[in-house]
Chains A and B, each alone.
Chain A
Amino acid sequence: MTATQTDALEVVNLDRVFDVSAPFLNRLLYRQGRSYLHAVNDVSFEVPRGGCLSLVGESGCGKSTVAKLVTGLYLPSGGECRFAPGKAGAPLSAQMIFQDPYASLNPRWRVKNIIAEPLRELKLRRNDAEIQDRVGELLGIVGLNVADGDKFPHEFSGGQRQRISIARALASEPEFLVCDEPTSALDVSVQAQILNLMRRLQDELGLTYLFISHDLSVVRHMSDRIAVMYLGRIVEQADTEVLFADPKHPYTRLLLETIPDVNDPNRNREIVAGEVPSPLAPPSGCTFHPRCPLAQDRCGSERPQLRQMPDGACVACHFA
């Protein structure tokens, strides 16, 4: 662990509600009420400085919404994100790397302009020559050539585009990077290149990562601590090794059991029934109880609180 005593980011009771009501006239004609989607519900976590916390969960669990709340792309409905003071005394600056390297780069801009945009917007360099120097330096950091700056994004493969995204995110010298599924659009051999690059940058630049992924093997490789989300809530949070050695929440166990493992395939697995319920109408009590093998009457009525375990894990389950 490279983490020091202080936390880079503290997220406290974060809430985000989306209004997903039908248009006004439809509501009037069909007598529908308003409907709300509670995408993030009372989420709290800390990311240690220089460390990496990962959020995992299936689609619709709210992990990407948390990423956007942390970077300020969404405003929270409740709770807050507190960044620790950074180098200059002001709160740490955060940047984001997006999932799809095909959609997140402007196809009409040359790469050097894409990377220079944050420098120009934030007026981080005085003149054009300094900006070009910095762009060249950034291209070098992510393993591209200075000459690549004159090309357009379509001339690059997916992995190289993701390197451009990383260079753009690093342009403003952030100390905190939010990575929303940075490798899920990439092939495995290229994924390894990007993960290695991200680990190297973390060591060299002292970056702190909030890493979002649905791929547990990638998460295991990258993170110091993992928070598992289900229907907008964190159900278990533990250090990586603790979580993999001793998963406590039944949902975490389900996730770990269902991922196919190349090295130890389970060809005769029992087919687990059930699906994630609609987040528009989450089940009462513990939201996992309809799929849970341990569920009892209590789980349908009473929502379990996150409790601290002796080994440092936090679990929201009555029977953990």
Chain B
Amino acid sequence: MLDAGQPCLEVRNLVVEFPNRHGTLTALNDVSLTIQPGEILGVVGESGAGKSMTGAAILGLLERPGHIAGGEILLTGRRIDSLGDREMEQVRGREIGAIFQDPLTSLNPLFTVGAQLSETIRQHGQGITRAQTRARAIELLREVGIPGPAERIDHYPHQFSGGMRQRVVIALALAANPRLIIADEPTTALDVSIQAQITGLLRRLCKDHGTAVMLVTHDMGVIAETADRVAVMYAGRVVEVGPVEQVLKTPAHPYTRGLMASIPALGARVEKLHQIDGSMPRLNAIPVGCAFNPRCKSAGPRCYRERPDLVPSSAGEAACWLYEGGVE
């Protein structure tokens, strides 16, 4: 059992590097996160910000030659970044479940969903009979809201629609009752009306099972409706983290502010959208100091010299000199 206050996941000063023939690219630079049991942490950022990379690093699924070059990852107090492949296989699935963006490619087209669920259930539960496995698989399908689970269990992935497939993937992630689920853009491939079903399902399951969820997405709307806390990433670093309502309503970091203002509102129409000029730097050309300095309207000389770290701001924490002694 978890003792009170111990986070489910703790990432400390994580650094991920990709050596290549021109040098070393730092994809994640000093990323720290914590997720409490039963909490949904949203991780947002634009493409290339490193949000999926963080998920992959926690799962031990970094693509070579990428590797963890510093920091540590603790799952309920136990270090998992230093485990070998064999031990990590035991952690994945049993303790950490994963949901990926495209439900079609995360399922094997040649096996029925029942066979895939049973494989996972047997893999992580010793001495369980065939009949018990099947009963558990049907129960899982029912839990994720698939109508007629007793018949659907013998169907192949192509016989399911996109939304239903994503439910099957969620059932697979839940199969071993993990403590943590990493959901990487789980609704991006789905239509809005289905997206609402899936995020609602995630929230309900997280509450019922006390599972912690790391929800990686670029969609601020999904974050606003699903997450409890949110971490905003930019160029491989967390630039702001805090309770979802405060971060989205009163963002502290200039990047988050610009990002929120650039989303067209549903409520009212404006003549011109706020825009952040330029785009995110490439990994081989990250500016010295704060990586956001070329696009930042509040940048001062200090922002071009020194890199800011996360410090308490109005809402949560922000990595910006504005909150630590000014930009001069």
Contact = CB atoms under 8 A, between A and B. Distances in A.
Interface of A: 58-59, 157-160, 187-193, 195-196, 199, 214, 216-218, 220-221, 240-241, 244, 254-255, 258-267, 269-276
Interface residues of B, number: 45
B219 interface: yes
Contact of A188 (B194, B203, B259): B259
Interface string B260-272: 1011111101101
A199 B272 contact: yes
Given A254-B193, A265-B224, A266-B225, A216 B275 contact: no
Contacts, number: 129
Contacts of A254: 193
Interface string B191-205: 111111101110100
B193 A261 contact: no
B309 interface: no
A266 B226 CA distance: 9
Contacts of A273: 197
B258 interface: yes
Nearest to B187: A260
Contact of A271 (B161, B196, B272): B196
Contact of B266 (A193, A216, A276): A216
B52 to A, nearest CB: 14
B294 to A, nearest CB: 13
B288 interface: no
Contacts of A191: 262
B198 to A, nearest CB: 9
A275 B196 CA distance: 12
B218 interface: yes
A259 B263 CA distance: 13
B163 A262 contact: no
Contact of B218 (A59, A187, A214, A255): A187
Given A188-B218, A260-B219, A269-B196, A221 B264 contact: yes
Interface string B174-216: 0000000000000000011111110111010000000000000
B248 interface: yes
Contacts of A214: 191-192
Given A214-B191, A220-B264, A272-B193, A192 B46 contact: no
A292 B200 CA distance: 20
A259 to B, nearest CB: 5
B221 A193 contact: no
Given A188-B263, A262-B248, A221 B218 contact: no
B196 A221 contact: no
A189 B266 contact: no
A58 B197 CA distance: 15
Given A188-B218, A259-B221, A272 B197 contact: yes
A261 B264 CA distance: 10
12 contacts: A59-B191, A189-B279, A255-B192, A259-B192, A260-B224, A262-B220, A262-B260, A267-B203, A273-B197, A275-B163, A275-B164, A275-B193
Given A216-B192, A221-B273, 7 more contacts: A58-B193, A187-B218, A258-B192, A259-B221, A262-B260, A264-B267, A275-B164
B108 interface: no
A220 B164 CA distance: 30
B85 interface: no
A218 B270 CA distance: 11
A193 B225 CA distance: 26
B267 A193 contact: no
A202 to B, nearest CB: 12
